Structure 1
């Protein structure tokens, strides 16, 4: 696709994916959704990429679905296609890519965009950011994994209220309730996001991917199943080059040089 609604920059082993429709607050249409998926696929396949950052261009992280598309009879693909072909594949890619993914929320995150952020491994935001489950305000229900991730992050009662009432949640409130990892000051936002991403990119990527897999499975596993999977993956981790390097560096009292293998 030739459009530039999704930007990709790769630097220092980090892929920066930017939602780039600032004139409509980075709302997502069909073409953008497919390009987003293609970009995530490219980052997954690129062995040089060891961490991913998703952010937005302009004043918003994202406004969710482009309502102009769904209200135009010539453009509207219908909600089944929007969910089955746009958002659900984006969410499953974010969770299944065995690389750490940071949501760097640079502005308001509403609707599907909020839930795309919450599906990421680490969510950071600056103090002027807000999150909103805007669906009920127009007669819809949370999608894009919102009903899955939100109650697990903040608890059933709080999630139910936010989903039903559509309350705007400040970054400070989101941090306090455990919706996001932490607030980064606006004046240092880009620099600290980059530092966090580079740190992750230089860690043992294979182990980070296994941690992600374990957390995914913990959503549905019994304790016994989870313990068995921990055992299986720990044995695999102990056979990795990164584990050998980590132990050697510890013994030699030096900084490890992990290669993600």
Structure 2
């Protein structure tokens, strides 16, 4: 697929996906959805890619949905927003969260609406100091989609999640870090360098072990303790059969740096 709304590159095991509609704060159209899905699918299927880095071009990370792409006026027939979520946003979030390799998000500016929740669906989020997060759905009479109603309570607790969803405040990068929404904050001029450094590090680590870790952490949200212990047993059994486990033990015993291959 030819990409016109995103940029895609791979180097040193890291795939960088850059949302590239800066004039609209990288808001999503159908064409952009299709390109982004194609890029995520490539990342999931290519064994040479061991980490994914998502960021945006220009002064914003992502403003969510481009409302011009589904504009509606009073008196007109309403669009089926459920269909839009089903066809585009839900598959996107599922691809990110089930990706069997780390997904890092470098939030370079405002992340609003679905843009905020796409970032929160990633595994590790670093934001520029000038960045902000806005659950802007309430301004349109909508609910937080793209996994927002799932991630917000788990990251913030129910009290803050409700206030953030119903009031739509602009949350600074520093506040997001203090609340546990994101991992780290970087000075604007250092953001991409810091994110790429992190992504390259993750790309040299035991990728299959990360996949099992993601699976276990996500399952913990709904599992009982006994169910989680059983899952840990099964995943630990699988992890112990990987080449990376053998390499990790061998490197430890021989007091050398491990060279993980990601399988």
TM-score range, shorter chain: over 0.9
For residues 115 and 244 of structure 1, the distance between their equivalents in structure 2, rounded to whole angstroms, comes to: 37
Instruction: Give TM-score scaled by structure 2 length.
Output: 0.96
Give, in whole Å, the separation in 1 of the partners of 2:79 and 2:243.
Answer: 47
1:165-216 Cα offsets, whole Å, 9 max, x none, are: 0000000000000000011122211111111000100000000000011111
What does 1:83-162 correspond to in 2, within 5 Å? 83-162=85-164
What secondary structure, in the 3-state scheme, does the structure 2 residue paired with 1:27 have?
coil
Please give the alpha-carbon distance, in whole angstroms, between the structure 2 residues aligned to 1:81 and 1:141. Answer: 15
Report the TM-score, using the length of structure 1 for normalisation. 0.97
1:168-187 to structure 2, matched below 5 A, reads 168-187=170-189
Partners of 1:72 and 1:170 lie apart in 2 by 31
Residue 77 of structure 1: CA displacement? 6.4
Query: Gapped runs of 5+ residues in structure 2?
Result: none
Q: Which residue is equivalent to 2:19?
A: 19
Residues 30 and 82 of structure 1 are in contact (CA less than 8 Å); yes or no, is this contact kept in structure 2? no
Name 2:7's counterpart in structure 1: 7
What is the alpha-carbon distance in structure 1 between the residues aligned to residue 3 and residue 205 of structure 2?
34
Distance (whole Å) between structure 1 residues aligned to residue 216 and residue 35 of structure 2: 28
1:40 matched to which residue of 2?
40
Aligned-partner Cα distance in 2 for 1:78–1:42: 29
**CA spacing shift, 1:223–1:250, aligned 2, 3 Å:** same
**Alpha-carbon distance between aligned partners in 1 of 2:136 and 2:146, rounded to the nearest angstrom:** 13
Once residues 103 and 247 of structure 1 are traced to their aligned partners in structure 2, the CA distance between those partners, rounded to angstroms, is 31
SS at match of 1:26: coil
Separation in structure 2 between the aligned mates of residue 151 and residue 17 of structure 1, nearest angstrom: 27
The yes-or-no answer on 1:220 pairing with 2:222 is yes
Paired with 1:250 and 1:160, the residues of 2 have a C-alpha distance of: 47
Give secondary structure in 2 for the equivalent of 1:159. helix
1:60 aligns with 2:70: no
Counterpart CA distance in 1 for 2:3 and 2:84 is 19
**1:69 paired residue number:** 69
Distance 1:191 1:205 in 2: 22
Aligned length: 260
3-state secondary structure, aligned to 2:47: coil
Counterpart for residue 231 of structure 2: 229
Paired with 2:154 and 2:35, the residues of 1 have a C-alpha distance of 29
Q: Is the 8 A contact 2:7 2:20 kept in 1?
A: yes
The Cα of 1:63 is off from its aligned counterpart by: 0.3
